[in-house]
């Protein structure tokens, strides 16, 4: 039996749920409790394995304190629809990075730095370590 790949929109919405949940320091179990679900169901939503229905997404948006539209920001276009210039989503790697514990921790710490020169030097250091020459 061939496993069906998750829909790209479902994966994107799920990753945005995960990112926001982590931003709030909320566990999958706590979100699941608020939704009367198991943490395993929350995991499936976050991976895009299970699609989130409209009423459930509304519920999640209230719990995570964001508008429903937050979950669709930067979403890929539907299959077969060409992307226009104004539709360009943020690169998926940014969302993927922010949906990790390390990504969120690094971003929060970086944003607390008030010295713009120091932030720039840190960016340059990381680029050098990663082998990049240009921003």
In the Cβ-directed half-sphere of 108, how many Cα atoms lie within 13 Å?
Answer: 14
Give yes or no: residues 10 and 47 share one domain: yes
Backbone angles phi, psi at 69, to 5 degrees: -60, -25
Total structural domains in the chain? 2
Residue 27 lies in a domain: yes
Q: Is 111 or 42 the better-scoring residue by pLDDT?
A: 42
Give yes or no: residues 64 and 13 share one domain: yes
Dihedral (C-alpha) 113, 15, 42, 102: value to the nearest 10 degrees?
-30
Q: Are 15 and 95 in contact (CB under 8 A)?
A: yes
pTM of the predicted protein model: 0.68
Q: Is 26 or 1 the better-scoring residue by pLDDT?
A: 26
In the Cβ-directed half-sphere of 120, how many Cα atoms lie within 13 Å?
Answer: 4
Q: Is 85 or 15 the better-scoring residue by pLDDT?
A: 15
The domain that contains 51 carries what CATH number?
1.10.260.40
Residue-wise pLDDT tens digits, 47-106: 999 999 999 999 999 999 999 999 998 888 776 666 555 555 556 677 778 778 888 888
pLDDT band at 38 (very low <50, low <70, confident <90, very high): very high
Q: Which stretch of DSSP H or E encloses residue 22? A: helix 8-23
Structural domain boundaries, residue 108: 100-135
């Amino acid at each position: 039996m061939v496993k069906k790949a998750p829909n790209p929109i479902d994966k994107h919405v799920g990753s945005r749920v995960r990112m926001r949940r982590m931003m709030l320091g909320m566990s999958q179990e706590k979100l699941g409790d608020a939704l009367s679900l198991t943490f395993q169901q929350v995991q499936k939503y976050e991976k895009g394995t299970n699609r989130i229905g409209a009423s459930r997404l509304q519920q999640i948006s209230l719990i995570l304190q964001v508008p429903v539209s937050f979950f669709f920001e930067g979403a890929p276009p539907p299959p077969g629809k060409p992307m226009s210039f104004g539709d360009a989503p943020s690169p998926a790697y940014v969302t993927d990075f922010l949906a990790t514990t390390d990504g969120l921790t690094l971003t929060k710490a970086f944003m607390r730095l008030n010295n713009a020169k120091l932030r720039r030097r840190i960016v340059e250091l990381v680029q050098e370590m990663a082998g990049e020459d240009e921003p």
